[in-house]
């Protein structure tokens, strides 16, 4: 005769349940801390690589111009060299894309949020998602009516949707269904306590579910880490889900993966709802209004360039001088201030890196503006965190060009800042 299993007392079952919940919360907290550390590392690596890529892109453009100028003497030979150079430029541009994804994961990129409806973003990108998915995959959208607005960068939300759609497509090689749905939810204290980093309040839920191959617990644990991928070598960068994580967390949101092998995958995301009425959100593009089409060549203005990386400083100087600007350079803020104290030459623009030893670019600009009232300031950086608000937007009145940049981008931005209306006097 088989013995019946002994039933645990109610209080003991409750204790065991509470212990299991604590362990789950601790595991989620440890994972969040690990991802935060990886984000800091990724941001630092991306900053250094952005300087290198700017140098590569701009010197390559110098060589391209020279080849085009002389190739008439032996066009066949020079055309071959030009194709080789274009391969270098293409590789550098792909590298720039990877560093941008790293900055997104590390929540160190510049964002341009505004009040919007996630329903509108899903509807706008639905056609693109259909093209991204294979023909045998059905896309089904269930969008809740009266969805609360959120403060977000629409381009970043689109990137989240596309990255997750690509992930779902790869998990359903034989076809399937990808469902996207939205809903209003209220997070209470009890739920927030068990989900580190999540605060009680009103959120909009964005959920994508597929019925593909699913993920094991070990894969889920590492899925958001940069460069982690289960795809064959050469078929994925491992930055798609890391980018999704960075975007959602930048908005003070929450993202979770629910999956089992053979049972599909659901990405569950919460984005804070906003009480800001539509039309009162932050501007979509805080750059100077004159950034659009117009002349980009210099008019003889003098620019002071401050950059601690020697190669980056030199390539910036060459780009500007080749386009009719007069250029003064300094490797750091203290040297720049000494230079200004020894010359009376009018300087129309300060072009300074953001993160430098001894003195940050913002501190240098403040001191330079006292010495030269009315000077225009343009910041350049692959790591703009000191110039950003808590929401990742640029502080009011700040003009920034993000590294890596090609010479055309730099010249357009320089011209825009020089030609922008003078700030109103206090």
Over residues 329-364, the pLDDT tens digits come to 999 999 999 999 898 889 999 999 988 888 888 899
Q: Which CATH superfamily is domain 289-419 in?
A: Response regulator (3.40.50.2300)
CA-to-CA dists, residue 23 to 103, 195, 225, 254, 272, angstroms: 31, 12, 22, 19, 27
Predicted local confidence at residue 188, as pLDDT? 92
Dist. CA 25–CA 189, nearest whole Å: 14
Predicted local confidence at residue 206, as pLDDT? 96
What pLDDT digit, counting tens, does each position of 362-407 carry? 899 999 999 999 999 999 887 666 555 555 566 777 888 988 888 8
Predicted local confidence at residue 230, as pLDDT? 74
- The SS3 call for residue 93 is helix
pTM > 0.85: yes or no = no
Q: Is 37 exposed, middle or buried (0-12, 13-18, 19+ CB in 10 A)?
A: exposed
Dist. CA 29–CA 118, nearest whole Å: 28
List, for the chain, all residue ranges whose pLDDT scores fall below the cut of 50: 1-2, 4-6, 8, 281-294, 426
Predicted local confidence at residue 234, as pLDDT? 55
Predicted local confidence at residue 383, as pLDDT? 66
Predicted local confidence at residue 289, as pLDDT? 38
Classify domain 114-272 at the CATH topology level.
Heat Shock Protein 90 (3.30.565)
Predicted local confidence at residue 20, as pLDDT? 57
Predicted local confidence at residue 291, as pLDDT? 38
Pairing of strands 201-210, 265-272: antiparallel
User: Could you check whether 114-272 and 289-419 share the same CATH topology?
Assistant: no
For the chain, which residues make up each domain, given as ranges?
Answer: 12-105, 114-272, 289-419
Predicted local confidence at residue 143, as pLDDT? 95
């Amino acid at each position: 005769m088989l013995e019946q299993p002994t039933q645990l007392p109610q209080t003991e079952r409750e204790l065991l349940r509470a212990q299991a919940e604590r362990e789950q919360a601790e595991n989620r907290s440890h994972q969040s801390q690990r991802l935060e550390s990886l984000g800091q590392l990724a941001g630092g690596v991306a900053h250094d690589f952005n300087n290198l890529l700017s140098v590569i892109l701009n010197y390559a453009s110098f060589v391209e111009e020279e080849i085009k100028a002389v190739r008439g003497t032996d066009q066949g030979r020079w055309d071959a060299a030009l194709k080789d150079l274009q391969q270098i430029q293409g590789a550098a541009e792909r590298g720039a894309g990877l560093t941008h994804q790293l900055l997104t994961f590390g929540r160190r990129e510049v964002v341009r949020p505004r009040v919007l409806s996630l329903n509108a973003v899903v509807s706008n990108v639905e056609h693109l998602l259909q093209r991204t998915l294979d023909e045998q995959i059905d896309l089904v959208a269930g969008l809740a009516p009266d969805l609360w607005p959120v403060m977000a960068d629409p381009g970043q939300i689109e990137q989240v949707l596309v990255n997750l759609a690509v992930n779902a497509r790869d998990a359903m090689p034989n076809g399937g269904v990808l469902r996207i749905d939205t809903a209003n939810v209220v997070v209470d204290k009890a739920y927030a306590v068990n989900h580190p980093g999540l605060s009680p309040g009103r959120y909009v839920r964005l959920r994508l579910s597929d019925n593909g191959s699913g993920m094991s617990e070990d894969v889920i644990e590492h899925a958001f880490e940069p460069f982690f991928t289960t795809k064959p070598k050469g078929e994925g960068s491992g930055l798609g889900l890391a980018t999704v994580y960075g975007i959602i967390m930048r908005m003070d949101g929450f993202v979770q993966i629910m999956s089992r092998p053979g049972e599909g995958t659901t990405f569950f995301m919460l984005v804070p709802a906003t009480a800001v009425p539509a039309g009162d959100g932050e501007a979509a593009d805080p750059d100077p209004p004159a950034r659009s089409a117009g002349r980009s060549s210099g008019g003889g203005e003098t620019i002071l360039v401050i950059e601690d990386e020697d190669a980056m400083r030199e390539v910036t100087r060459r780009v500007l001088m080749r386009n009719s600007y007069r250029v003064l350079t300094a490797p750091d803020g203290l040297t720049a201030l000494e230079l200004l104290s020894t010359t009376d030459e009018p300087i129309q623009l300060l072009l300074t890196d953001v993160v430098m030893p001894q003195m940050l670019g913002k501190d240098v600009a403040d001191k330079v503006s006292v010495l030269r009232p009315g000077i225009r300031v343009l910041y350049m950086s692959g790591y703009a965190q000191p110039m950003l608000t808590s929401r990742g937007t640029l502080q009011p009145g700040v003009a920034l060009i993000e590294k890596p940049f090609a010479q055309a981008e730099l010249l357009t931005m320089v011209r825009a800042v020089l030609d922008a209306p003078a700030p109103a006097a206090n």
